[in-house]
């Protein structure tokens, strides 16, 4: 019987996971040479330099999460009372253990928001069930700590979706007047 490949089967997921590990993916020096015209030694020494400087933080896959069934991206802004250190630490621990949460960061700006979190889920129902089980039912006092929140579901159409890496390279090229 032939094995039917799926994007989310054990073999494909194990390979995707391995691609995220250090030194699993390396740049194709010949391809970079074709794009830039630079000598291989220049490219290799430049990559080594950028890694040492901490600018390059790795190489890895870019996934279309929707093809894996994760069609809901959620951004939530909170006004959080951070004065109760024990409660705050408990919330940070729950966030660290939540595989659906991929970003939690402090924010400043208009209004009283001081935290933003980003999640990926299959749908709205699984999102609400997930946050209830992982946070609201698990952490006593969470309702006291979260003074206000706004939840946004990221939807199509996406009018622009560039990576931060692409954006910063374009900004610097423009600032310095580089044409390539």
68-91 tens-digit pLDDT: 999 999 999 999 999 999 999 999
Report the distance separating Cα 87 and Cα 92, nearest Å: 9
pLDDT on residue 61: 87
Segment (H or E) for 73: strand 72-80
pLDDT at 171 over 90: yes
pLDDT range class, residue 1, cuts 50, 70, 90: low
Mean pLDDT of 134-160: 94
68-154: CATH number: 3.30.70.920
Cis status, amide bond into 157, omega within 30 of 0:
yes
Q: What is the mean pLDDT of the chain?
A: 93
Full-model pTM: 0.82
| Residue 58 or 159, more confident | 159
pLDDT range class, residue 2, cuts 50, 70, 90: low
DSSP-derived letter for residue 66 is G
Domain ranges of the chain: 1-61, 68-154
Report the distance separating Cα 133 and Cα 158, nearest Å: 30
pLDDT range class, residue 23, cuts 50, 70, 90: confident
**88 φ, ψ (degrees, to nearest 5):** -60, -45
Report the distance separating Cα 55 and Cα 41, nearest Å: 19
pLDDT at 15 over 60: yes
Percentage of residues of the chain with pLDDT beyond 70: 99
């Amino acid at each position: 019987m032939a094995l039917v490949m799926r994007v989310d089967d054990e073999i494909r997921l194990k390979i995707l996971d391995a691609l995220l590990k250090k030194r699993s993916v390396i740049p194709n020096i010949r391809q970079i040479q074709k794009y830039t015209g630079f000598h291989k030694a220049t490219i290799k020494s430049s990559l080594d330099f950028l890694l040492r400087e901490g600018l390059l933080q790795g190489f890895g896959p870019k996934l279309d999460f929707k093809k894996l069934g994760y069609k809901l991206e959620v951004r939530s802004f909170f006004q959080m009372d951070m004065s109760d250190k024990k409660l705050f630490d408990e919330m940070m621990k729950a966030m660290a253990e939540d595989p659906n949460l991929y970003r939690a960061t402090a924010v400043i700006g208009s209004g009283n928001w001081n935290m933003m979190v980003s999640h990926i889920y299959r749908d709205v129902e699984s999102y609400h069930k997930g946050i209830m089980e992982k946070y609201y039912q698990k952490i006593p006092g969470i309702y006291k700590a979260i003074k206000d929140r706004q939840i946004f579901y990221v939807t199509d159409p996406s009018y622009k979706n560039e990576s931060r890496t692409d954006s910063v390279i374009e900004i610097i090229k423009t600032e310095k007047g580089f044409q390539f």
